[in-house]
Chains A and B, each alone.
Chain A
């Protein structure tokens, strides 16, 4: 089994609608039932982000996201799948449920 990160891409500040939330709940239940579920969460907007650089003494703390871009990650799933074809199917369903594009990326194994 491999693990994949499915990042939900979002390009406005509008929150998810009630229908989208309901569709996401249905998708989450299916992920659990089919044994793909590892974790999922929504994220606060990039306005609430802080960048910390602790590589030197006296860490530098900066307000805002590390990349200013119109599109940002608004939430994510971590799923387990035997190979990419299964993960692609999950990403397609996930994208449909949240009504946004999803970036699918393998998580490195040990």
Chain B
């Protein structure tokens, strides 16, 4: 959010403006801040969270975090120059940015979808889990 706001200030100063500034501002705000805080808080708050710490136990959450942020950083680096520079590296970064951010949405949905459940469903799932652990 800080970066988004700094961009917004820079946008008001004509001498600092560069291509792709407004799309970057909006996506830093909507993806980097709002979407990411929704992801983070819901992964913590929704029922069915694993208590086990570590990358392996929380792989979908970690994948979401890494892919969303790497994707966004790639966009911040490449978007201002992609239309003016002929270098292939910027095209590749933009391509990867799109794929990584979309993949982050998929990883988040894989983690959260089964955790959207009623109290009754949750109770049944817990009973099943206990039975399985008992066997």
Q: Is the A/B pair a real complex?
A: no
Chain A: residues with CB nearer than 8 A to chain B?
A: none
